[in-house]
Amino acid sequence: MTSNTPLVPALPGDAHLSYRDGQLCMEGVRLADLARAHGTPLFVYSSAAIVDALAAYQRGLAGRRSLICYAMKANSTLAILKLLADQGCGFDIVSGGELERALAVGADPAKIIFSGIGKTRTEMARALQAGIGCFNVESLAELDVLSEVAVAQGQRAPISIRVNPNVDPKTHPYISTGLKGNKFGIAHEQALGAYQRAAALPGLRVVGIDCHIGSQITEPTPYLEAMDRILDLVAQIEAAGIPIHHIDFGGGLGIDYSGDTPPAADALWAALLARVDARGYGDRQLLIEPGRSLVGNAGVCLTEVLYLKPGEQKNFCIVDAAMNDLPRPALYQAFHRIVPLQLPQAGASAPTWDVVGPVCESGDWIGRDRALAAQPGDVLAVLSAGAYSMSMSSNYNTRPRAAEVLVSGDQARVIRQREAVADLWRTEQL
């Protein structure tokens, strides 16, 4: 006997993204309704998913002197930042623009840390004027420049030094940041000398130490290895007479894109804190910089099927989202699940398609070799699109950026209007 009941797959995104009566819903809202109301491409986020992801970190750090600084490069949309700020988050920024975004949502400047290898004098001066909590310094040259800027303003800049612990995070090479060949941080072997130099500069005040080994990390071992190397270094620095008040272990925890099994944030921090305590540093303030793990599985991108183009070697499903909306596949060969908004009946034909966008680049693809029972006019959901999608989007091919919607329960509101074409040349001159 053949059943016509559609199969209901398990989806990344917990209970906040699921099929109900065959319709894909985010919290209490049908995504098909949002696509009809606001058009496509369209990013939709679950506020409950973001709050729940943050709560896992808060549970893991409960009872500790700690500060969770959201790495806003993952998604810097103002409403997302405001949601996290209201939950007590600080922010990890990497540009003057991100600083202004954080301040625009009422972030406490003392909870802002400024990372990045190429801070300008103007950015440094503005951050000092705003009263940020710490600069994560990434080179000896930056130490000298920051000291000069601070002295000129009659201040001492609070700093930590980002140390490159040379630990393999076992992730894509483009998002590995803690190996010797990466551009980030100061080599572990040079760190003590860098701290001695920082302590001697008149415009600097050493407050901590920082490391960040990579992104989309799905196992705890690299974190434990990095922690041991950083704590070894803390002991050396303090033996040289330079106190370390906080230890920043960065971010990088991965999410489930397609069967990935990263440790839960609270379980990971239970293991890390046990190591910190065993080493005798449990009294220090702990800073972390999660990004992807807070917002990645909270978002989807809705995209309409424009054309089906069968071929001898490949079948192409052409959609209205493209690499300018979802750059990760083109950049990293990244995988995103792609699912229909309405479940097909069991047994429905599902040919294999490469899901591609309209941009004139061979690299403009969103998913390869996907079994989809799709027809022109159908809307698909690209999952796990809450991180490094809108924040990395562009206007390539003079394509306006998508709209964004935030769902809370059974309510949905637009948090970014779709760009108009005229917006794209508003600042240009003939």
Catalytic residues: 360
Task: Return the closest-CA partner of residue 169 out of 113, 231, 251, 276.
Answer: 251
User: Does a cis peptide bond (omega within 30 degrees of 0) precede residue 173?
Assistant: no
Rounded alpha-carbon distances, angstroms, from residue 354 to 118, 301, 317, 338:
38, 17, 6, 11
Q: Which helix (H) or strand (E) holds 46?
A: strand 42-46
Q: Is 370 left (phi over 0), alpha (psi -120 to 50) or beta?
A: beta
Q: How far apart are CA 61 and CA 286, in angstroms?
A: 9
Q: How far apart are CA 68 and CA 253, in angstroms?
A: 13
What count of other Cβ atoms lies within 10 Å of the Cβ of residue 384? 27
Q: How far apart are CA 112 and CA 392, in angstroms?
A: 21
CA terminus-to-terminus distance, the chain: 69
Q: What is the DSSP string of 139-202?
A: SHHHHHHHHHHHHHTT--EEEEEEEE------S-GGGB-SSTTSSSSEEGGGHHHHHHHHHHST
Rounded alpha-carbon distances, angstroms, from residue 369 to 199, 246, 341:
56, 47, 19
Length of the chain, in residues: 430
């040379």: which residue's tokens? 166
Q: Parallel, antiparallel, or unpaired for β 23-26 and 17-20?
A: antiparallel
221-239 helix and 191-200 helix, angle to the nearest 10 degrees:
50
Q: How far apart are CA 407 and CA 30, in angstroms?
A: 10
Cβ proximity of 386 and 23 under 8 Å: no
Q: Which residues of 124-140 are buried (b: 16+ CB within 10 A; e: fewer)?
A: bbbbbebebbbbbbbbe
Q: How far apart are CA 232 and CA 123, in angstroms?
A: 32
